[in-house]
DNA sequence: ATGGTTGTGTTACAA
C-alpha cells in the first residue's frame, strides 16, 4: 500500500499536476495540504472518477487539507482537537484501508517572533497531545504532511540562510523531537541519509540550484513502521510546468 | 543585491 503526502499549493491551480501524478504513481492514499478552497470548490469528481473516496476540510483562500483513498474512509475527524476557537483548516484524521492516517498542514509561523510564531507553537503543543492520544490505541498510523519544520541542519541547503526562520527555531525543532521521541519513525530517514528535500522556493531559481529544504514528513507509529517496505521523494512533479513549490513524499507499507 | 515568485482575490496577505 502506497501512502503519499503532498502540499499542492491550491488544488484548483494544481489540478493538471495532481491528476497526472495520480494516474502515474497511483497512491492508495494521498494526503493533501494547502488546497486553498472551501469544500464546494474542491474538484471532487476528478478524483471520484479515478476511484478515490474523499474527505475534504476546506477554507476560503488559505490552508485546507484533504484525504483521498482507494479504500472506504471511516472515523473522519476534521480539525485538530484542543482549541474550539481555531478556525484554520489544517488537520484531518481518518481510518482507511486498515491504517489510521492524518493529513497535517502545520502553521508556517513566520515572522518570528510574533503572533504567528506563537500560534505555530500552540498548534504543535496540541498536535503533541493528539499524537499521544492516537498512539495509545496501538494502531498502524501514518501522520503525514507539511510540518513546516526543518528537523536538522542537514535537511537544509543553507542553514545560515534559514537561521532566523520559524522553520528552524529551537522551539519548533524541540516540539517535533517530542513527537518523534514518542516512538514515531521519520520514514524518509529510514533508508536515506543527507539532504533529501521536499520544498524549493519559487524565487531566485531555487529549484534549478537545488536550494531545497525537507519539511514534508511521514511519521509512522511502531505498528506502521514494522510494515515499512520503501520510501521516496518524487521530484518529477516539481520539475513540470506550473508546479507546486512542494513535491510528493511517499512510503509503501506491506501486509 | 535586504532582491526573487506564486496563488487568492483584490490592489494586500501568506507562503
Q: Measuring from the CA of residue A36 to each C1', which nucleotide is nearest?
A: B8
- Taking chain A (255 residues) in consecutive chunks of 10 residues, what is each chunk's mean pLDDT? 98 98 98 98 98 98 98 98 97 98 98 96 98 98 98 96 97 98 97 87 96 98 98 97 98 95
Q: Measuring from the CA of residue A116 to each C1', which nucleotide is nearest?
A: B14
CA A236 to C1' B2, in angstroms, rounded, equals 32
Report how far Cα A174 is from the mean position of its chain's Cα atoms: 19
Q: What are the start-end ranges of the E strands in chain A?
A: 2-7, 29-33, 53-57, 65-69, 73-78, 91-96, 99-105, 141-146, 185-186, 199-200, 212-213, 216-220, 228-233, 249-253
| Cβ-Cβ contacts under 8 Å for A95 (sequence gap 6 or more) | A73, A74, A75, A101
**Number of Cβ within a 10 Å radius of residue A174:** 13
Q: Measuring from the CA of residue A146 to each C1', which nucleotide is nearest?
A: B15
Contact A8, A17 (CB under 8 A): yes
Nucleic strand B under 7 Å from the C-beta of A209: no
Integer-rounded Cα radius of gyration of chain A: 17
d(CA A178, CA A245): 28
Strand partners, A73: A96
C-alpha cell at A252: 509503501
pLDDT score at A255: 86
pTM: 0.98
Nucleic strand B under 7 Å from the C-beta of A39: no
For nucleotide B6, give the residue with the nearest CA to its C1': A202
Amino acid at each position: 500500500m502506497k501512502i503519499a503526502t503532498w502540499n499542492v499549493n491550491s488544488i484548483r491551480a494544481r489540478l493538471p499536476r495532481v491528476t497526472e501524478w495520480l494516474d502515474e504513481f497511483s497512491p492508495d492514499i494521498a494526503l493533501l495540504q494547502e488546497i486553498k478552497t472551501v469544500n464546494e470548490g474542491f474538484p471532487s469528481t476528478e478524483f471520484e472518477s479515478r476511484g478515490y473516496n474523499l474527505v475534504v476540510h476546506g477554507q476560503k483562500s488559505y490552508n485546507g487539507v484533504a484525504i483521498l483513498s482507494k479504500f472506504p474512509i471511516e472515523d473522519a475527524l476534521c480539525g485538530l482537537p484542543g482549541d474550539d476557537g481555531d478556525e484554520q483548516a489544517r488537520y484531518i484524521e481518518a481510518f482507511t484501508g486498515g491504517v489510521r492516517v492524518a493529513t497535517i498542514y502545520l502553521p508556517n509561523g513566520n515572522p518570528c517572533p510574533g503572533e504567528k510564531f506563537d500560534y505555530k507553537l500552540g498548534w504543535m503543543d496540541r498536535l503533541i497531545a493528539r499524537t499521544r492520544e492516537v498512539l495509545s490505541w496501538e494502531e498502524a498510523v501514518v501522520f503525514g504532511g507539511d510540518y513546516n519544520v526543518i528537523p536538522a541542519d542537514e535537511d537544509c541547503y543553507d542553514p545560515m540562510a534559514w537561521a532566523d526562520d520559524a522553520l528552524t527555531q529551537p522551539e519548533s525543532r524541540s516540539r517535533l523531537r517530542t513527537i518523534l521521541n514518542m516512538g514515531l519513525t521519520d520514514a524518509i530517514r529510514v533508508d536515506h541519509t543527507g539532504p533529501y528535500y521536499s520544498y524549493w522556493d519559487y524565487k531566485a531559481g531555487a529549484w534549478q540550484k537545488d536550494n531545497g529544504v525537507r519539511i514534508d514528513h511521514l511519521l509512522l507509529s511502531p505498528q506502521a513502521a514494522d510494515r515499512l517496505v520503501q520510501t521516496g521523494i518524487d521530484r518529477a512533479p516539481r520539475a513540470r510546468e506550473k508546479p507546486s513549490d512542494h513535491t510528493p513524499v511517499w512510503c509503501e507499507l506491506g501486509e
